[in-house]
Structure 1
Amino acid sequence: MSAASCLLTEDQFLCSICLDVFTDPVSTPCGHNFCKTCITKHWDGHEKCPNCQELFNIKPELWVNTFISKMAAQFRQSAQQKASSSSSEQRVSKPGEVPCDDCTGTKLKALKSCLLEETLSKQIKKLLEVELKRVQQYAVDVTLDPDTAHPALILSDDGKQVNCGDAKKNLPDNPERFDKCVYVLANQSFSSGRFYYEVQVKMKTKWDLGVARESINRKGNITLSPHDGYWMICLRNKNEYYACAEPPVRLSLKHQPEKVGVFVDYEEGLVSFYDVDAAALIYSFTGCCFTHKLYPYFSPGLNDGGKNSNKQLNICRKIHIIYCNKCIFIDYIWFAHCCFFRF
């Protein structure tokens, strides 16, 4: 099962059925989020998405999105604390005036709405920054496997860059190689735990990124979907972003990512994509069931009439961060006194 957690906005942080902050948020295959109780009651006899009216012939199995749930819980707590503090200040500022219950309730509702509008974006951004830092600790070193690369792809000697050439090279058609689609897999595979890597996608008009199952078909035309062993997002026509779910989900992003982070939790069944510079979550596949090795997957896209030529996908080098009390030095060159980055 795949589910969406697209770049969160104020509207997406609220359940569109009860119009309140999410409680036990779940995601539908069409990419919309609801309180679990709300959507369960709504689906009592008619399994359609309340937002887009997508009809599900088989009732989807719903999984609580733990990441959105944590954000909702933290925001709810913060809003309640601020509402309580502001309400107390109002009572103290006007001694002798005792507001009626109706007035107090109305003011608190208005205050809650105001707090939601004013602080939601900051709360989400802060939580996403913390979440991104958390997943970045699982960074791994990823290099491209030339034995899997389509013959038109050009790989750098260090296995960190790939772009698409105009002609196919004369390469052996081994079983691992993609023969029709301009794809390439990483040398590294993962069958447990968590891993994370980042890819520079700046200036490209097309690309695909994600992870693929070891047993995928590599010959002929390929369907990109979780059912076929691919968990990925893609860019088309310079500004059209999609998650290759079932069915595909069009993503509405506030910014065009220049660096994309990919995080996988094998046991949790989670594949998440991040806009690294904006510290924003782009999309998550949740509730996945992994039983095979997973390989990082890349496609720089075809040349797009020259618009996408000579523009590479660049896999960022793994950065180890070691903290001590006072300092930083980079690549063994002192920057301050003591902590350092190793490349």
Structure 2
Amino acid sequence: MACANTSWSEENFSCSICLDVFKSPVTTACGHNFCRTCITKFWDEQVQDKCPVCNKLFNTRPDLQVNTFLSELLAQFRTSVGVKGQPCVEPAEVPCDVCIGTQQKAVKSCLMCFTSYCQTHLEPHQRVAGLKKHRLVEPMDRLEDRMCKKHDRLLELFCQTEQVCVCLLCPVTDHKSHPVVPLKEEYKVKTAQLGKRRAEVPQKIQERKQKIKEIKDTVELSNKDADREIAQGGQVFTALIGCVEKGRDEFNQTVKEKLKSTVKRSEDLIKELEQEIEDLTNRSSEVKRLSHTEDHLSFLQTFRSLKDPPPTRDWTTVEVRPPSYEGTLRRSLDQLEETLNMETKKLRDDAELKRVQKYEVDVTLDPDTAHPQLILSEDGKQAHDGGLVKALPHNPKRFKEYICVLTRQSFSSGRFYFEVQVKYKTNWLLGVARESIDRKGRIEWTPETGYWTLWFDKDGLVFGDNTYVDLPLRAELQKVGVFVDYDEGLVSFYDVEARVHIYSATGCTFTEPLYPILDPCSYAGANSGALIISPVNQTD
């Protein structure tokens, strides 16, 4: 191919859109040339595709192909005119520090001159004897940052003590006795560390996504709990409002009854007075007529037949007093307070029981812990005293002194709830115990020894504490619910059938797994029945 015309200027190879030397020149159907990127961006911003020079409209966007002939001419032009004809440096490339105007990409960097050179401006370093001794390296950006500020030498080493890059003279001066290694060696170490960290990132991201899910699940559960609590609270307050309204109606009725009694008495007295008035009026008329009779015989005969005046009441002591309402309101309010207290406790206990029943767990009795005298059902839900001690293999987990059994399941956090049927039993014990309890000797049933239990016998109902807590004996106690909040240190007992709270041990300290524990106590007549772990019947 013939040499490029050296009279050509940069304007001959400039895009009319960006006004710079073509980059990947393409030609439109109307014969005008543009950078591929420029014409594509121009069309993207237009309503209809057209040529920016002649405004020719295109029904469909042309399929642009690189103008190979123009590209070859452009290459020759760059070679012949040097710097001025070079394309702009790409973002990832190092520019020549000597070029004026449009910069050419550097092909080498000189560590003596602290300068990067394109192929044209590198020529003196390849020709001049003094410059040939300079150290040339692959193009580097910001050479001044790669040089030691103190010794004006290339940073080629890494100080492991101070974790900084140093030059060859630094280990002799400021970094004397510090371990230093070549940058390449430290680079391998750091990239390995980076690779490890990068490998950890997906796991950390997944962990945080999981944590977000847990938090969202907690919020969703909290919303449901709040809705349920509001609904239950609404029922409680509605019931209490009903009690207040009933008390108000009873108070109004009491006042009205007192008023009615007063009105009735008044009406009866008035009726009696009116009758006396009528009788007296009639008597007065008869006397008046007789007093006007002048016939002596007739007067005397009539006077003889004149009836005695009707008896009259002494009204001087008779009075009607307004009804007294003193104390009526106070008595009504006292009665209302008593009713509200009873109803509040009943509703509160019912709502509380509903709430803790949500934490029901399925537990079964562990035969390895059962006293040799106990008989367990096949499903592990019932235990009763068989009356005879069975010959069983030694097991360190088995109770020896007391007729007890633990469940297979234990709990070390959170909340759990279970119910035990005690119907027809005259003696029993149940609750929870920690894992390390003494299972062989005689002990006190207290939290100090690892037991949080409720027991029942002929003397009543008791919670085992350092000082035993005597509890009100509940009539016909049939089923007992046990709730534990491990983290809050709470153990609560409930009368399930009556839906009443029996007792709560608060401020407990749990440091070991807790096991539900049952003791049906010795076989003795009416106490021969079993303790039965029952499914929870959750009411709405």
Q: TM-score range by the shorter chain?
A: 0.5 to 0.7
Distance 2:414 2:330 in 1: 44
Is residue 498 of structure 2 the alignment partner of residue 244 of structure 1?
no
Counterpart among 493, 501, 505 of residue 285 in structure 1? 505
Distance change (3 Å), C-alpha of 1:261 and 1:80: closer
Partner of 1:208: 429
* 8 Å contact kept, 2:244–2:336: no
Among 457, 473, 489, the residue aligned to 1:269: 489
Tell whether 2:316 aligns with 1:316: no
Equivalence for 1:23: none
Q: Secondary structure at the match of 1:282?
A: strand
In structure 2, the CA distance between the partners of 1:254 and 1:155, relative to structure 1 (3 Å rule), is closer
Q: 1:247 to 1:105 in 2, by over 3 A?
A: farther
User: Of 328, 337, 340, which residue of structure 2 is paired with 1:119?
Assistant: 340
Q: Which amino acid aligns with 1:316?
A: S
Which amino acid letter does the alignment assign opposite residue 533 of structure 2? I
**Structure 1's 129 and 318: CA in aligned 2 closer, same or farther, altered over 3 A?**
closer
Alignment of 1:6-155 (within 5 A): 110-155=331-376
C-alpha change, 1:105 and 1:191, in structure 2 (3 Å) is: farther
Conserved? CA contact 2:460–2:473, under 8 Å? no
CA distance in 1 between counterparts of 2:504 and 2:365 reads: 24
Cα deviation, 1:134-162, whole Å, max 9, x if unaligned, reads 11010000100001010000001110000
Moved over 4 A (4+): 77-83, 104-111, 318-321
Tell me how far 1:174 sits from its aligned partner. Answer: 1.2
How many matched pairs? 237
Question: For residues 271 and 176 of structure 1, what CA distance do their matches in structure 2 show?
Answer: 24
Are the structure 2 counterparts of residues 245 and 79 from structure 1 closer, same or farther at C-alpha, using a change threshold of 3 Å? farther
- The corresponding residue for 1:62 is none
Provide Cα deviations, 1:285-332, integer angstroms capped at 9, x if missing partner.
11111111100000000013x3322x10110135689x9xxxxxxxxx
DSSP-derived class of the 1:308 partner: helix
Task: Give the one of 292, 295, 299 matched to 2:515.
Answer: 295
Q: Residue in 2 aligned with 1:167?
A: 388
Change (3 A) 1:234 1:82: same
| Number of the residue aligned with 1:177 | 398
Deviations 1:179-198 (A, max 9, x none): 11101001110011110001
Amino acid aligned to 1:313? L
Residue 119 of structure 1 deviates from its aligned partner by 2.5
Contact 1:139 1:319 in 2 (8 A): no
Structure 1 counterpart SS, 2:443? coil
Aligned to 2:276: none
Q: What is the 5 A alignment of 1:315-334?
A: 315-317=533-535
Greater strand content? 1
Q: Is the 8 Å Cα contact of residues 357 and 536 (structure 2) preserved in structure 1?
A: no
Would you say the 8 A contact 1:181–1:222 is kept in 2? no
Residue 307 of structure 1 aligns to a residue whose secondary structure is: helix
Q: Give the counterpart letter for 2:448 in structure 1.
A: H
Identity rate, percent: 49
8 Å contact from structure 1 (residues 211, 297) kept in 2 = yes
The letter for the 2-side match of 1:194 is R
Task: In structure 2, give the amino acid aligned to 1:262.
Answer: V
Q: Deviations over 1:110-148 (max 9, x none)?
A: 554221123322222112111111110100001000010
CA distance in 2 between partners of 1:81 and 1:122 (Å):
11
Aligned equivalents of 1:307 and 1:203: distance in 2? 7
CA contact under 8 A between 2:421 and 2:534: conserved in structure 1?
Answer: yes
- Give the Å deviation of 1:81: 7.8
Q: Which residue of 1 aligns with 2:453?
A: 232
- Relative to structure 1, the CA distance from residue 250 to residue 173 in structure 2 (aligned partners, 3 Å threshold; closer, same or farther) is same
Check the 8 A contact 2:354/2:538 in 1, yes or no. no
Q: What SS class does the counterpart of residue 527 from structure 2 fall into?
A: coil
CA distance in structure 2 between the partners assigned to 1:256 and 1:215 by the alignment: 34
Relative contact order: is structure 1 or structure 2 higher (C-alpha 8 Å, sep ≥ 6)? 1
Return the alpha-carbon distance in structure 2 between the equivalents of residues 253 and 236 of structure 1. Answer: 10
Q: Residues of 1 paired with 2:518 and 2:482: CA distance?
A: 11
CA 1:80/1:123 → structure 2, altered by over 3 Å: closer, same or farther? closer
Q: Secondary structure at the match of 2:448?
A: helix
The 3 A distance-change label for structure 1 pair 192 and 202 is same
CA contact (8 A) 1:173 1:179 kept: no
Contact 1:139 1:196 in 2 (8 A): yes
The residue aligned with 2:407 is 186
TM-score, length of structure 2 as denominator length: 0.40
CA distance in 2, matches of 1:199, 1:245: 21
Inter-partner Cα distance in structure 2 for 1:319 and 1:253 = 24
CA distance in 1, matches of 2:244, 2:383: 50
The question of whether the paired residues in 1 share the 8 Å contact of 2:415 and 2:485 is answered with yes
Gaps of 5+ in 2: 1-232, 257-324
The aligned counterpart of 1:198 is 419
CA distance, structure 1, for counterparts of residue 535 and residue 340 of structure 2: 35
Q: Deviations over 1:51-86 (max 9, x none)?
A: xxxxxxxxxxxxxxxxxxx9xxx89x9799879x89
The structure that is helix-richer by fraction is 2
